[in-house]
Structure 1
Amino acid sequence: MFRPLALFIGLRYSQAKHKNKFVSFISIASILGISLGVAVLIVGLSTMNGFEKALREQMLAVIPHAELETVHGSFRNLNRSLQQAADYPGVIGASPYISLNGLLQKDNEMKALQIRAVMPESENNVTAVEQYIKGGGWELLEEGQNAIILGKSAAEKLDINVGDSLILILPPASGQHLKAPQQIKLTLAALFEMGGQLDNALGFMHIEDAKQILGMQSANGIALKVEDVLNAQILARDVGYSLSDYLYIKSWITSQGYLYQDIQMVKSLMYVILLLVIAVACFNIVSTLVMAVNEKKGDIAILKTMGASKWMLRGIFIVQGAFNGLIGSLLGALIGIYLALNLTDIIKFIENLIGHKFLSGDIYFIDFLPSQLIYSQVVVVTVIAFVMSVLSTVYPAWRASNVEPAEELGFSH
């Protein structure tokens, strides 16, 4: 009957109490170090995955993937340009818009804001803003009513409620700098709440009202929704080149792409830094095994005199170190999975406990800490940690196989 002796003895050594208590302490420290590194790496990667998912599903759901704006005036033939853009391969939807930058005034309170004048009938083709509007949808923007929909944060800063009136102050048109700013009376039709910085920086009105205010015949922008968001800039350029108007071409990558790049950079740095943490924990395995070899020299000498080969002796200590690595990796993976799956709730509980939010919606595009666990990443991290722990056993195992029985047994007498 085949008996893997190296495995049997290695596991016995792993579970046996050490004469030197310091060896036991270092052994436990190595397991806990690997567990901590694996758990933190899994939680960190899940957080970065969560930010990436929130960026795609929340921010990119409420801002157009790409935009085409005329250099001068408005589109000469808006309907034809819209149709061409919507029919372009890779484009899911298109909708016209007019962008205004101005000041909103309510009594003594003023707020700088970007107002997006949209066509209610087609805006859902490019964004999902309507689902965040409280008490209704785009039908609240009635043509000719000079109605506006504001973010909850902006409305709170202006101390205004739905149904109240406010003043929109627009700068003079280009070439009319000596004229007084234009003042338009608006009515707050509804509020939207997306839970991020857009609540504080964006407002919506009907495109026909904006045309009337600015004296425009047509829209000066077309918003696009595309299939591949990471390819939005290239696709927007191709669509823009296919149209006859002179256009400014931009996408979410030019305005918000730094967020995506930051997420990718932090994710890469986390791999490097936290794998170094695991590597330090693996050095504890080296220390444990070196001390274990010194402690077991007599046992090694006896095994050699009984015919144990060098590879069997190496196998014993590789098994002993790999056992610590396996326990540490699996324990870290279980802790990491639990924390990653419950991270958002845990952070909310801590925020309620201390009365402070870690992420402010005024600064970040979300006001909660997201988490998305990807099990393939858990497997990769766990396997890498285990392999690193096995590799750290090579030197002590090699050292154990070079023990001379005559010297050790002679010394014992």
Structure 2
Amino acid sequence: MFQPFALFLGLRYSRTRRSSRFVSFISASSIIGIALGVMALILGLSAMNGFERELRQRVLAVIPHAEVEMVSGGFSDWQSASALLKKQPGITAVAPLISLNGMLEAGGKMKAAQLRAVLPAEEKQISQAAEYMTGSGLDALLPGENGVILGQQIADKLGVKIGDSVTMQVPDKQAQSAFSAPMQRQFTVVGLLKLGGQLDGFLGYIHLQDAQAMLGWQDEVQGLSIEVNDVLSAHTIAYQAANQLPYRMYLRSWMTSQGYLYQDIQMVRTVMYVVLLMVVAVACFNIVSTLVMAVNEKRGDIAILKTMGASDWQIRLVFMTQGMVNGLVGAGSGALLGCILAQYLSSIIHGVERVTGYQFLNPEIYFIDFLPSELHLLDVAVVTTAAVLMSLLATLYPAWRASQLLPARELGR
């Protein structure tokens, strides 16, 4: 008797109508459980991949990878400092920056905001924010015109649109008294920033020269924004580069303000792997029950095969094949469904939101307002392989038990 015959017999057993409906139910439930587990895991991993992609393409496209800022006041020799930073390994671009934190007011409504004062030509080298702006983007910021680009949520809170005026109030750090009036400057809205997330609620842009005029500075800047070639090592690269500057400066990286998002994504990915693989494992071990019952049904057949010369390994292979069919069908169908649904996950969730009127991701809380999805074939391969291997593991005990049956005892009954 050859091994191909054992495979053939195992496949035939898997297609044979079982005498017990309960055994058929257990077999079907194992296939469905494996399929649902694999599908859910692929969908979950695709969503985590989507969040990581949006973090890189949206948040890190707008927020600098790192910033160096003077301990107090500004410095005028920023061109030399910028040139020195650009020569450091890992630094790809540098741009000047003044950051103004204050209150925006329009029509009696107020909203806290952070206005980044930038040079449009320099800012374009380190940021893709212009891609998410209406109109001409950063080019709408002209020196001396007091133009401002506001996040969409800020504009909605203040009830303003392009062409309207807003008043910016910032603390006067040079004032002698803590109760002195804040500095005020009126700006005209020249554009809107539409990232579709949390940043729209506090971020805005003005021209660098307008901020310098407001602060009474000549050609001084508060700090420098830095872009690096490896975002996960941004803090280390920026720290090593900033040590070359002859100034006492604060250093911040995106890991300081947004790093928790990346860490949360990785933690959820790990937890999802563990939990859903356990779900798949439970479904796979339903195969144990199916095969134990199948062995009990086929005790006479096993005895006859052994008297015909079938070895223990051939008997084991028959039932391992029978159990693996369930694993392969479940994992394959789950992977196929997962791949199809992952491609349309964002559209499906958007449709559910429109029907129910409930928004799953509030842009005031989360950094995006939709559920992203990005399918990675490596994830599909890993999940499917893990499900198949667990199915194989589940067949070992019933197959071993089948091979231990004694022909004389079974045929003598």
TM-score normalised over the length of structure 2: 0.97
Q: Which residue of 2 aligns with 1:225?
A: 227
Q: Which residue of 2 aligns with 1:402?
A: 404
SS state at 2:412 partner: helix
Q: Which residue of 2 aligns with 1:284?
A: 286
Shift of 1:2: 5.8
SS state at 2:120 partner: coil
Identity of aligned residues (%): 52
Shift of 1:196: 1.0
- Equivalent-residue separation in structure 1 for 2:167 and 2:9 (angstroms): 83
Q: How does 1:235-254 map to 2 (within 5 A)?
A: 235-254=237-256
Q: Which residue of 2 aligns with 1:36?
A: 36
In structure 2, runs of 5+ residues without a counterpart are none
CA displacement 1:229-277 (0-9 Å, x = unmatched): 1010001101110111111001101110000011111111111101100
- Equivalent-residue separation in structure 1 for 2:97 and 2:21 (angstroms): 73
Q: Which residue of 1 aligns with 2:128?
A: 128
Q: How does 1:259-270 map to 2 (within 5 A)?
A: 259-270=261-272
Q: Which residue of 1 aligns with 2:212?
A: 211
Q: How does 1:92-171 map to 2 (within 5 A)?
A: 92-171=92-171
CA displacement 1:347-374 (0-9 Å, x = unmatched): 1111111122211221111111111111
Shift of 1:76: 4.3
SS state at 1:113 partner: strand
- Equivalent-residue separation in structure 2 for 1:35 and 1:325 (angstroms): 9
Shift of 1:85: 1.4
Shift of 1:86: 2.0
* Range moving further from structure 2, 357-366 or 248-257: 357-366
Q: How many equivalent residue pairs?
A: 411
SS state at 2:94 partner: strand
Q: Which residue of 2 aligns with 1:67?
A: 67
For the pair 1:179 / 2:180, whether they are aligned, the reply is yes
Q: Which residue of 1 aligns with 2:327?
A: 325
Q: Which runs of 4+ in 1 moved over 6 A?
A: none
Q: Which residue of 1 aligns with 2:11?
A: 11
Q: Which residue of 1 aligns with 2:376?
A: 374
In structure 1, runs of 5+ residues without a counterpart are none
Contact 1:76 1:245 in 2 (8 A): no
Q: Which residue of 1 aligns with 2:190?
A: 189
TM-score normalised over the length of structure 1: 0.97
Q: Which residue of 2 aligns with 1:356?
A: 358
Shift of 1:3: 6.3
The verdict on how the C-alpha distance between 1:319 and 1:64 changes in structure 2, with shifts beyond 3 A counting, is: same
Q: Which residue of 2 aligns with 1:50?
A: 50
